[in-house]
Structure 1
């Protein structure tokens, strides 16, 4: 969580990055998180304050029963909290309850401003002590190196500290998907993470790091949330909303926009927090009791764009991990010209991966010789396919006909410019490629 809130409330040179090594387990690609088999994975879950409530192991089963596919687990190095020496047990609980496990060191919260905080370098030292429990768990575990690792004092130090921590993790043999939190107690209100995101991603020789923003009072308007997310999306920088809370006052976080935008963009989110906050207004469950959900708990689990409505379990737990196959045939495209020779667009439909009972598709929309401001793509499935999830477009279905419309951030395309949106769908075996039609709307 916003760490303080838990405590209070709780020359000229061009550097060419090294070639990325092959991904192991959970990994990033094209701004998204994928499983080892290439299936997109979107986090839908909560934070659990394990280090302060180590006996509340029933919480793993409880949040899973409410629909979560991910749990972010608070651990300690021993400098401020812990030490957490039960990492193997925590991972086993995540796996037993079929959730992806995001493990985070909380001692780093507010470093540089909070005198007792651990540095990111010290956090890496902790992860090294836990390496035997972590190696081999790359399909199931994301390592969040340190929670909110820099406060508001000299937030610029975050860039070097984070890049060095990533390099140290890789030098010590960790192949996991790494997650890094922004400075300013996670909220990045000085935009250090936003403006140095590429530097951080390039520091990872495995190209396997996801950035994490924590959204609280700084993100109390729709415009502030949308603008921040747009910057990452435009650059294909992988991002998750690693923490956010409930709008219990008008100047607090706009959780409704966070939920809606995360769903529309295919972004993962992890709400703060299950229970145990000093200020119980941030609790989702009263006294860790899943039968006594608070207003916040009811909203995030059972409301629109909430966990129950949008979470999909990681395929690693399905028992039928599909083998990814890539279709290289480019299907035909259709260009629709608006009356009077106005702006046009084309759409290219591609099957990216497929497996028994389903597939992942991608559509590239390209503007013609004139700029366009919005677009609509349609196609008709011939073999009973049905879209189950989509990102970077609003997708609706009417029988076998699918319609996709641009989001607010990707409708404007310069002449010859393009954008892509993706989706997953079920199939009945045959998966013929339809012709997609694009119109300027």
Structure 2
């Protein structure tokens, strides 16, 4: 179902002139999900980072249990494939899809797939036709701004005349706003989503300026074009430097050396606070991209295990939207601050808890002087154990836990902070320990 491009040489990826740093004006006082600077936030101002997968609903409309299965594996978002009727569908069950997302406490990214490869794929729909579809389903969408992101059209331009993407996308955004949509809008890159000619990267400001509500996020799809750390970090660096909001709306995995470097993708997304939505749950004509065997959540493929269970994967990094009670419901994040000790302090939080397991994070803050390294220790009082950790080297001796900085996050300026996280097990109770921090 995905059109994959051949890997490009490093020279092509590097042969682009520098672009000016341009900053967005402040986000409008939008209701629901909206852009604030480079971040997506909820109506209450709480940052929301997408962690989820793509689900090919239009081709498998009977697989409604997939929404619950995706949620059960830890996702906070699902990107749902819909059809306008030009190639697939029409998907006239928008209200039902939104209801399934809400029942399962998932943020719903809805996309029209018919636009894939327009200009190169003869049967593809235009972005203008995709907007007509959204207008036809406006009654199901209005009022759902807290729960729904509208991804106007999937991979809307192929490799033929990628420059047409600029006007087509700007006009689609304007038409959506002109017809009263106030949702967070998501727009995909050309070149089958991979932007290897850098049309989106070099013209992003034009698209963002076309939105009267300043409520559009750009989306890059990372497959074989993004098969090296250098290709990935260079692309993401440009958006970060310009202050442009971005999500990784699709990506695959490194099943051979020419394919997407998924480990770098998720690590960079985590360190930068970028959302990601992996392709895809099941049902691909090329099953190497399936995360489950025949939609069965108990049969995760290699790709499924990487994206759900990896150190920067969904289970380790997803946080439920606060509109569903994430961060405020049971279990409430619990905080145990300590005064500065040896030049730093540590704050321990339980960010999620389930039967037999929990997720926590620890924030390390330098005191009044810069530090070059840190060590955090605590003692579990209720028999808990740490089973996995990221952004720190964690070891245990009985109930005593020691966490030391990595090479990249040990040096902190005065008052600066960094965080590390972990997964743990518990039985009976999960009391909050008091951590101590020592600087070096």
What does residue 220 of structure 1 align with? 227
Aligned to 2:209, which of 202, 206, 216? 202
> Which residue number corresponds to residue 244 of structure 1?
251
**1:4 Cα deviation (Å)?**
6.4
**Alpha carbons of structure 1 residues 307 and 116: separation in structure 2 relative to 1, 3 Å:** same
CA–CA separation in structure 1 for the residues paired with 2:282 and 2:318: 20
Q: TM-score, normalised by structure 1?
A: 0.73
Residue 24 of structure 1 and its aligned partner are, at CA, apart by: 1.3
1:2: how far off? 3.6
**Counterpart of 2:115 in 1: which secondary structure?**
coil
The 4+ residue runs of structure 1 with deviation greater than 2 A are 1-5, 16-21, 319-322, 374-379, 394-399, 402-408, 419-424
5+ long unaligned stretches in structure 2: 6-22, 330-342, 344-362, 366-370, 377-390, 422-438
Which string of whole-angstrom CA distances, capped at 9 and with x for unpartnered residues, describes residues 375-423 of structure 1? Answer: 98999xxxxxxxxxxxxxx689999xx9999979xx9xxxxxxx99999
- The residue correspondences of 1:185-200 to structure 2 (distance < 5 A) are 185-200=192-207
Deviations 1:210-263 (A, max 9, x none): 110000000000110011111111112111110001211111111111111111
| Number of aligned residues | 382
Output the CA distance in 1 between the equivalents of 2:277 and 2:38.
Answer: 18
Contact 1:151 1:184 in 2 (8 A): yes
Once residues 216 and 145 of structure 2 are traced to their aligned partners in structure 1, the CA distance between those partners, rounded to angstroms, is 13
3-state DSSP class of the match of 2:118? coil
The structure-2 alpha-carbon separation of the partners of 1:423 and 1:195, relative to structure 1 and needing over 3 Å to count, comes to farther
Alpha-carbon distance, 1:44 to partner: 0.6
| Cα separation, 1, equivalents of 2:319 and 2:327 | 15
Deviations 1:358-381 (A, max 9, x none): xxx9x9xxxxxxxxxx998999xx
Contact 2:102 2:147 in 1 (8 A): yes
Counterpart secondary structure, 1:104: strand
Q: Residue 157 of structure 1 aligns with which residue? A: 164
Q: CA deviation at 1:128?
A: 0.3
Give a deviation string over 1:79-131, Cα, whole Å, max 9, x none. 00000000000000000000000000000000010011011011000000110
**CA contact under 8 A between 1:45 and 1:270: conserved in structure 2?**
yes
Which ranges of structure 1 fall in alignment gaps of 5 or more residues? 6-15, 323-335, 337-360, 364-373, 380-393, 412-418, 425-437
Q: Residue 301 of structure 2 aligns with which residue?
A: 294
CA shift for structure 1 position 28? 1.0
CA distance in 1, matches of 2:269, 2:140: 32
Deviation at 1:21, TM superposition (A): 3.7
Match of residue 312, structure 1, among 319, 322, 325: 319
Structure 1 residue 265 displacement after superposition: 1.0
What SS class does the counterpart of residue 178 from structure 1 fall into? strand
Tell me the residue number matched to 2:349: none
